[in-house]
Chains A and B, each alone.
Chain A
Amino acid sequence: MPDVTFKVYRGDAKGGKAVEYAVPISPGMVVLDAIHYIQGYLSPDLAVRWNCKAAKCGSCSAEVNGKPALMCKSRLDSLPIDKPITVYPMKTFPLIKDLVCDVSWNFEVNKKIPPYQPIEKKPKIFQDDVDRVQEFRKCIECFLCQDVCHVLREHEKKAEFVGPRFFVRLAGLEMHPNDGADRSEFMKNTAGIGWCNITKCCTEVCPEEIHITDNAIIPLKERVADRFFDPVRWFFRKLFGTK
């Protein structure tokens, strides 16, 4: 099989440029395989983050041909290989080196979210309850949705807006059948849910196919609205567990 040209961003916080590498390809190959080839044979100091190579850990996020994607899930046979394939780091986070960004902001945000708080009298949990929340709990924290969300990417609202990943997490907590915390205040003021204008870009890039906007953000927006503008409805929701 022929060689394919990869243009991989090399550099650090101070600056850098894309460098071209010719990589031999094999059937079923993914972009991460090419990056590993470059590391193993051409440039041993090329920095990349990865763990599972199976789309399960959410480490290998990057921008492949300009699109946010997991490198371990980006098949070469789904890309036009007659042209160079560009591999750039995520743009929304500060660069450490080459393809590796500093994503520590996300971990700081996560710490602020009021944790799971079990209610006292726990109801029996059924499969439907589990299924509803599992959609949110299956998030692999790839932060691709954070990378693509214009509120963070273009408007730099990291101080006011937690981003789609954490609305997914909030939804997982809020819709947990045994959780009793009230996060409305947090969602409105600290998490900045009002900034989201439902462009759905986040949903489009989610490798876990979580319906971030329809199933997490919109219901949470409703919850916040009820709490602040229709407290009676909010109270009933809380009371009868139609969480």
Chain B
Amino acid sequence: MSYETHEHDVLIIGAGGAGLRAAVEAASNNLSVGVVSKSLLGKAHTVMAEGGIAAAMANVDPKDSWQTHFCDTMKGGKFLNNWRMAQLHAQEAPDRIRELEDWGALFDRTPDGEILQRAFGGHTYKRLCHVGDRTGLEMIRTLQDKGVHSGIDVYMELTIFRLFKDGGKIAGAIGYWRKNGEFVVFKVKAIVLATGGGGKAYQITSNSWECTGDGHSLAYEAGAELIDMEFFQFHPTGMVWPPGVRGLLVTEGVRGEGGLLRNNKNERFMQRYDPQRMELSTRDMVSRSIYTEVKEGRGSPHGGVFLDISHLPAERVKKKLPSMYHQFKDLADVDITKEPMEVGPTAHYMMGGVRVDADTGASTISGLFACGEVSGGMHGANRLGGNSLSDLVVFGRRAGAGAAEYARKLAFFPTVDKNELEKAAKDMEAPFQRSGDEDPYQIHRELQESMQGLVGIFRTEGDLKKGISKIEELKQRAAKVAIKGKREYNPGWHLVGDLKSMLTVSEAVAKAALARKESRGAHSRLDYPNLDEKFGKLNVVVSQKNGEMNISTSPVPEMPEELKNLLAENK
């Protein structure tokens, strides 16, 4: 078979904040750069980011510094973070934000005309640059326009489903156009994965349909290592009512602006769990606290707790949280300037991901790079709010540069093996040839239910084992799915591919969670409720060995003395 074929020095898979920033960087090296995305340009999940982007600009709190941001990030991550990533992130985030403004972005201002910063959980100082609660939109539009005028080729509504190697090196990828179902082959020197997270494996999630862990799964199948997969962040405040919007995010900005959490006894229950930081405690802590309140019967009518911002002047609420105001008014008939919201935990962010080199974003496979939510290491056991948007631009830039440098040194394009190509195409078409009544939507619903119930906020060995065997069953059923209709824009067919990624990611999360016999950050084991020093020195590593998922551990990289001292001083 012959397929539509394109050649690029660097192919970037994903057009969220990380992918676009990587594309701009790679293109600035005079290379041919392609960017693919499952949806239209500008619709990636990053567009939904609300609260802000963290950087120690010290505009509002002059005492802030990269050192404090570094310490906060490490503490939030329970010291499992890759220290070098946390350091680069803290040092470079302010420059990346100034750069966004140089490219036309506009953030809210302090009275003397500097970029305004707001408070967020786990950050010692007011640190989040923002534009109301539409920060992600501002970022993605800026990067999108910058990218379009940097000469990159954009392939919209094209889904990549397999990567190819030549010897040990990345050589290409195959995908399909949504609009006509036709296959497309990319021959490349380097690939940057920027595919975002995998929240759609859970029933209650803030994530969009695209977040199915494709990049995690593509990297895993190509033989790359994944780390920290057991850490899945449940954001404490998702909407709980009405049913159709369950899980939809309520930005931490609400608490940053002074929102209070109460139970049905009108108690500010965070007093019981973290009296010092209260509502601005870290996300793992607030999620567990809400979960516990609800479980012990002190929840709101629809199984959440109350989040109240109505004590602030209505005008201020509308100004600082405009999209929250509309979201509740339009979708839940709640006027947040007058009454409390009902909120509960929602699956939100994957700390785990492709293991990368901090400076270049290189994975453990030559020519394969990763940045943004699909990469692991930066956030350790728990991510602080606002640290993702900054992660996207800091490491998007670095991975773009890393891939460009790698591609420049490669004299020839590696070859994509014809047989492998044919096999990938055949596998993808197979559901049309099958008959039977296995349906991808039904399997997806069962996966979401199992992940929610068995691999959720609180975990036990028994539940995790049940979850793993359910995933095994679903994997076998997914291999028998039959699809009807044509290849043109067929969502059922599309879901077959997404499902495969979600199953891989779910298996990795569950198996890594089983391996970590302690509670740390976002990973809470009822059967091992305490921190265990031994595990505090280990990352859990997931990789494919002889077609099987292999779980191992590797030591957390050792920090240089000066950073150790910094943390000691900052206790």
For residue A178, which residues in chain B have a CB less than 8 angstroms away from its CB? 104
Q: Is the CB of A58 within 8 A of B208?
A: no
Q: Is the CB of B108 within 8 A of A130?
A: yes
Q: Is A182 an interface residue (CB 8 A)?
A: no
The size bracket of the interface on B is 35 or more
Given A28-B242, A125-B113, verify A55-B330 contact (CB < 8 Å): yes
Q: Is the CB of A59 within 8 A of B244?
A: no
Q: Is the CB of A102 within 8 A of B179?
A: yes
| Interface residues of chain A: helix, strand, loop or mixed (majority) | loop
Q: Is the CB of A51 within 8 A of B243?
A: no
Q: Is B369 an interface residue (CB 8 A)?
A: no
Q: Is A27 an interface residue (CB 8 A)?
A: yes
Given A28-B331, A118-B102, A130-B107, verify A97-B489 contact (CB < 8 Å): yes
Q: Is the CB of B489 within 8 A of A52?
A: no
Q: Is A39 an interface residue (CB 8 A)?
A: yes
Cβ proximity bits A187-215 to B, threshold 8 Å, 1 near / 0 not: 00000000000000000000000000000
Q: Which of A53, A110, A173 has the most CB of B within 10 A?
A: A53
For residue A59, which residues in chain B have a CB less than 8 angstroms away from its CB? 39-40, 43
A33 (CB) vs chain B CBs: closest residue: B244
What is the total of A-B residue contacts with beta carbons within 8 Å?
159
Q: Is B134 an interface residue (CB 8 A)?
A: yes
Q: Is the CB of B106 within 8 A of A133?
A: yes
For residue A120, which residues in chain B have a CB less than 8 angstroms away from its CB? none
Taking Cβ atoms with an 8 Å cutoff, the residues of A that contact B are 12, 26-30, 33, 39-41, 44-59, 73, 75, 96-98, 100, 102-104, 107, 110-111, 115-116, 118, 124-127, 129-130, 133-134, 137-138, 140-141, 173, 176, 178-179
Q: Is B391 an interface residue (CB 8 A)?
A: no
For residue B326, which residues in chain A have a CB less than 8 angstroms away from its CB? 55
**Distance A124 CA – B245 CA, assembled complex (angstroms):** 41
For residue A44, which residues in chain B have a CB less than 8 angstroms away from its CB? 439-441, 483-485, 491-492, 495
Cβ proximity bits B157-197 to A, threshold 8 Å, 1 near / 0 not: 00000000000000000000001000000000000000000
Q: Would you give the shortest CB distance from B168 to chain A, in whole angstroms?
A: 36
Q: Would you give the shortest CB distance from B197 to chain A, in whole angstroms?
A: 14
For residue A39, which residues in chain B have a CB less than 8 angstroms away from its CB? 441, 491-492
The stretch that binds A, out of B67-75, B137-145, B525-533, is B137-145
Q: Would you give the shortest CB distance from A8 to chain B, in whole angstroms?
A: 13
Q: Is the CB of A51 within 8 A of B208?
A: yes
8 Å CB contact of A46 from B179, B332, B491: B491
Given A30-B244, A51-B45, verify A116-B486 contact (CB < 8 Å): no
For residue A97, which residues in chain B have a CB less than 8 angstroms away from its CB? 179, 488-489
For residue B107, which residues in chain A have a CB less than 8 angstroms away from its CB? 130
8 Å CB contact of A28 from B40, B45, B244, B440: B244
**Distance A61 CA – B49 CA, assembled complex (angstroms):** 21
Q: Is the CB of A53 within 8 A of B208?
A: yes
Q: Is B156 an interface residue (CB 8 A)?
A: yes
For residue B294, which residues in chain A have a CB less than 8 angstroms away from its CB? none
Cβ proximity bits B537-556 to A, threshold 8 Å, 1 near / 0 not: 00000000000000000000
**Distance A96 CA – B488 CA, assembled complex (angstroms):** 8
8 Å CB contact of B48 from A50, A54, A100: A54
8 Å CB contact of B323 from A12, A56, A96, A116: A56
**Distance A210 CA – B407 CA, assembled complex (angstroms):** 44
For residue B492, which residues in chain A have a CB less than 8 angstroms away from its CB? 39, 44-45
Q: Is B103 an interface residue (CB 8 A)?
A: yes
Q: Is B47 an interface residue (CB 8 A)?
A: yes
Q: Is the CB of B156 within 8 A of A107?
A: yes
Q: Which of B43, B112, B333, B486 has the most CB of A within 10 A?
A: B43
Q: Is the CB of B113 within 8 A of A126?
A: yes
For residue A41, which residues in chain B have a CB less than 8 angstroms away from its CB? 441
Q: Is B349 an interface residue (CB 8 A)?
A: no
Q: Is the CB of A134 within 8 A of B106?
A: yes
Q: Is B210 an interface residue (CB 8 A)?
A: yes
**Distance A47 CA – B107 CA, assembled complex (angstroms):** 37
Given A51-B39, A52-B47, A116-B104, verify A138-B137 contact (CB < 8 Å): yes
CB within 8 Å of A: which B303-348 residues:
323, 326-327, 330-333
For residue A111, which residues in chain B have a CB less than 8 angstroms away from its CB? 148-149
CB within 8 Å of A: which B461-509 residues:
483-486, 488-493, 495
